[in-house]
Structure 1
Amino acid sequence: MSESLSDTSGAADADVTATIASLWVYPVKSCAGVQVREALLTETGLEFDRAWMVVDEQGVFVTQREFPRMALIQPQLKHHDMVLRAPGMLALHVALDQVEAPVRVQIWGDEVKAYDMGPIAAQWFSDFLGTRVRLVRFDPEHKRASSRLWTGEVEALNQFSDGYPVLVISQASLDGFNEKLAARGSPAVGMERFRPNIVLGNKVEGADLSPHDEDRLDLLEISTAQGAARLKPVKPCPRCPIPNVDPLTALVSPEVGDTLQTYRQDARVNGAVTFGMNLIVLQGTDYLLEVGQTVKANYCFA
């Protein structure tokens, strides 16, 4: 692992100095995200990120791939509950400190311990999606680890994310992508399409970050009130069709995926189209990340 930047060169000598431009939490996997001003960093990523998931009658996870309407489900985190709203539905309140029966569910190739959230939540999601589903919550006692093929010696834990605790994308990457969309005659899209947890912005307008710099960084060190949080980029994020879903309308159209295909095929993941980098947490559990905090990093030339 790289040594801490603060132990060596300091911020002034880092290759890249940026800021946290925005923070996003996705409480229910594949539903809309919540933009927050601050978020607690835990060993599984940002607090409450992908803590809940929707499963079918066999206990297998479902996403916007099968049900684009999930994009229209808007969570809101309160002090004691999560409030879910969707078009044509009364609000659903889900207590943050209550679960019901233990269950086992499947996400990708993993069988995971979870808790059912009860019949009211199940009926709400079933009514909105038009098929029988249930809402479950990740069992915090269960250890679901990222692939050691990418994390090496580090045991990186997740809840219901696709496989890694944190996803980072720079605003410069989105701006560059929107330029390519415009050149193809398509309208710009928002960062919501790509579902990052941390969005990096330039420390000084017009300086430092170039598109997809996150692909090339060795270690991100974030200055928090509790000390330096250290997050390691480990794997480019392969992209499925979900970015083709308009988060405002749930309509699906191909221009996002088609444009990515023209320039984002990545040899590191066997030619899959990627956008953003998956991170693991090396240091900073229970540190508070906030919008505006300084992020420094050096390039990785391995």
Structure 2
Amino acid sequence: MQLSALYRYPLKSARYESLQSAPVDSLGLQGDRRWMLVDESSGRFLTQRLLPQMGRIEARYNGEGGLRLSAPGYDSIEVALPDPDAALRGVIVWSDSLRVPDAGDAAAAWFSAFLGRPCRLVQVPQSRARQVDTGYAEPGEKVGFADGFPLLLIGQGSLDDLSARVGRSLEMLRFRPNLVIAGAEPYAEDRWKRICIGGIEFKVAKGCSRCIVTTLDPHTGERSADREPLATLKTYREREGQVYFGQNLLPRGVGELRVGMPVEVLE
């Protein structure tokens, strides 16, 4: 088995970056989902679940923590990494409330114009990250703005099996993974508890429950009229009212991942 693809999402729910290598820190891939959009008045996080057009926003991580933003019909802008202790804004991610740095009025105006609603851009420093659910993680294990866990892994064999069941080839990016593993049988990742890639150990914490975002074309944001692949997943991957595809990971070390690295199942 080997690591066949690496993806990073600098801005939560915006477009992906395809990488050949990436450092891993305590929050997952460096620069992954450290930025987020929130409703200006409530502070509640915004995603493609509510705003499918977010999938057309390109946010490139610049290596210094900042972003270069572009979107169809809009001039690109650069956003610098804000001071981690200045201009703090209260935000809500699912059931978590936290205070994080606001990126300023220029970025907010750019996003508000594109999305047609008042919003703010915020960033999470490691010092202000959220505790991962302690039902699956140790105290002190943190996550940035990802839904619940630092990393998501999907086996290529699992996607190939799902595509065959649906009857058409599906894009892996519908599921927004960080790590794609080739060479394993379909859904082998369901049975893993610990794996090692590039000398970094990862705990396989829990299956990833899927939502309506999987029915959006990852390039256009258009929703599948037949509600695929969620409709097919419900026929064989549903339990207790949730549909699962892929596995959430917790990094138990730091280092660097590169496409092509072998994957070892430790447990």
TM-score by length of 1: 0.83
Match of 1:259, SS state, is: helix
Match of 2:150 in 1: 165
Deviations 1:154-206 (A, max 9, x none): 54210001111111001111111111111xxxx3221110001111112xxxx
Matching residue within 38, 49, 62 for 1:55: 38
C-alpha separation in 2, matches of 1:128 and 1:143:
28
C-alpha separation in 2, matches of 1:212 and 1:232:
17
C-alpha separation in 1, matches of 2:96 and 2:229:
29
* Counterpart AA for 2:56: L
Q: What is the CA distance between 1:112 and its match in structure 2?
A: 1.4
What fraction of aligned residue pairs are identical, expressed as a percent? Answer: 37
* Counterpart AA for 1:88: G
Matching residue within 154, 163, 177 for 1:196: 177
C-alpha separation in 2, matches of 1:128 and 1:63:
14
Matching residue within 94, 119, 123 for 1:133: 119
Match of 1:21, SS state, is: strand
C-alpha separation in 1, matches of 2:101 and 2:172:
31
* Counterpart AA for 1:190: E
Match of 2:262 in 1: 294
Give runs of aligned pairs for residues 35-54 of structure 1, distance below 5 A: 35-54=18-37
C-alpha separation in 2, matches of 1:177 and 1:84:
33
Q: Verify the 8 A CA contact 1:222 1:230 in the aligned structure 2.
A: yes
Match of 1:262 in 2: 235
Match of 1:11 in 2: none
* Counterpart AA for 2:55: A
Q: Verify the 8 A CA contact 2:82 2:123 in the aligned structure 1.
A: no
Deviations 1:203-253 (A, max 9, x none): xxxxxx111111111211112xxxx20001011000011111111111112
* Counterpart AA for 2:80: A
Give runs of aligned pairs for residues 266-277 of structure 1, distance below 5 A: 266=239, 270-277=240-247
Q: Report runs of 4+ in structure 1 exceeding 6 Å deviation.
A: none
Task: Work out whether 1:236 is the aligned partner of 2:220.
Answer: no
* Counterpart AA for 2:190: D
* Counterpart AA for 2:174: R
Q: Verify the 8 A CA contact 2:27 2:126 in the aligned structure 1.
A: no
Match of 2:96 in 1: 110
RMSD: 1.5
Match of 1:292, SS state, is: coil
Give runs of aligned pairs for residues 4-15 of structure 1, distance below 5 A: none
5+ residue gaps, structure 2, are none
C-alpha separation in 2, matches of 1:188 and 1:175:
8
Matching residue within 178, 183, 195 for 2:163: 178
Q: Verify the 8 A CA contact 1:39 1:288 in the aligned structure 2.
A: yes
Q: What is the CA distance between 1:107 and its match in structure 2?
A: 0.5
Match of 2:195 in 1: 220
C-alpha separation in 1, matches of 2:107 and 2:43:
15
Q: What is the CA distance between 1:145 and its match in structure 2?
A: 1.1
Match of 1:275, SS state, is: strand
Q: Verify the 8 A CA contact 1:23 1:35 in the aligned structure 2.
A: yes
Q: Verify the 8 A CA contact 2:196 2:266 in the aligned structure 1.
A: no
Q: How many aligned positions are there?
A: 262
C-alpha separation in 1, matches of 2:185 and 2:58:
32
Q: What is the CA distance between 1:98 and its match in structure 2?
A: 5.5
C-alpha separation in 2, matches of 1:33 and 1:292:
19
